[in-house]
Amino acid sequence: MAPPVVVQTTSDEDFEKLKAKLWAFMKAEIYPNETLFMKQCKEIGEAGNEWTHAPVLVELKRKARAAGLWNLFLPNDSARLGRVPAGLRPAGGLTNRQYGELCEILGTSCPFEFAAQATNTSSPDTGNCEVLARYGTPEQQKRWLYPLLEGKIQSCYAMTEPGYDNQKGSSDATNMSIEVARDEARQEYVINGQKIWITGAGSLHCEIMILMGKTAPQAPRHKQTSQILVPMNTPGITLQRPMEAFGENDAPKGHMEILFEDVRVPFSNVVLGDGRGFEISQGRLGPGRIHHCMRAIGQAERCVAAVADRLESRVVFGKKLAQFDNQLQNLAEMRAKIETCRLLVLKAASLMDEFGNKDAYTRQLLSLVKAHVPRSVASVADEAMQIHGARGFSQDTPLFAAFAGARWLRMADGPDEVHLRTVAKIELKRQKDSPLRGLGGFPIDRTAVFRRSTDKISPQAKALLEQYSKL
């Protein structure tokens, strides 16, 4: 048997200590500062277009790093490929399975990436760091990966396109229209077009973008795109507007619509090589998707805890809500949904550790996780809101934020339909080798006949027919 792709180097005992340390940090630093963080973010967004970190977040970043709760996400295989210094991984390196448990704890914060930002483990930086670690050159890693891991800069990932004019914007990664021409004389790419919903681009801390665009439109379909490093201060980049989801612009991180007009970067800024963009995206999006779902389970746990408080304290019609059978059933069904999601996520993470995220079964589970978990968490949050009455829809609880985040997650990194399509296509391939294939029906014996039209009818049946005809 081949050795696992990601080898566990943090012992179970040390990992439990790390979990305990993270819980202590959440209770002492994250939960008490949630409303302050949201207040400061809103003020930054309303003040103008120079968005920077909320002051409380900067303070918490310092504390998290000092506590060794920093860059928890980077698995050992990526860190090895990226030649990441040990000092940038104070936890010593985790498996995807171990990180899944920590990521769930981080996801209990409100907003759901608040704790992740404080510990330098938030999107899209985590995915971009994996890209640079796995596929970047030593020069690219030194220039961009290490500052990202230091927390000195932020990044964004430019993949989605609007398609307003040409109808090409879609969840199909090969269906891109942004133009990336080659200027051979100057050894530069020249980029023209638009991208939209580019998370993180609104912040002044965002200094580097990984852009996916067509560099070889005449090549085979999956060899047409490349991923290119584009510094955010490159002339020709215009942040046109922050996009709003459920009326929120998510400042100071933001999800931006961006215009590119003759944006020039050197050929050396390509990641891995021309035509390798689709290949990279498949490697990048797997971990990114599962990280979101890990955090989403934390959001569901936050909802269930709020429901338990509500059931045991709220009195209606002379009884506590916990004395109503339908409410107990709601709580039980929430627990079933959470446990199902957790088992699915941790199994997918374990498969990533053992086989890597390009293995077919691993890819199938990653897609299944991405489609199943957000829908389940949204259902849990929705029921929690209902149990809380009008308060559950207000700013007085984290419940609506949990619901909105889960609902948004059904579209982020690709819609449910794309992931379920992948699940089904892989399933059909896997079923070809199933020992149960061909056992979907029993042999049919047509030698025995029920009745022929020429068969004589018995006197008893004739008598009954005659009797019924006189009714």
Q: What pLDDT is attached to residue 470?
A: 83
215-247 confidence digits (pLDDT tens):
988 899 889 999 999 999 999 999 999 999 999
Q: What pLDDT is attached to residue 88?
A: 85
Which residues of the chain register pLDDT less than 50? none
How many alpha carbons lie under 13 Å from residue 74 in its C-beta half-sphere? Answer: 35
Q: What pLDDT is attached to residue 318?
A: 96
Q: What pLDDT is attached to residue 170?
A: 61
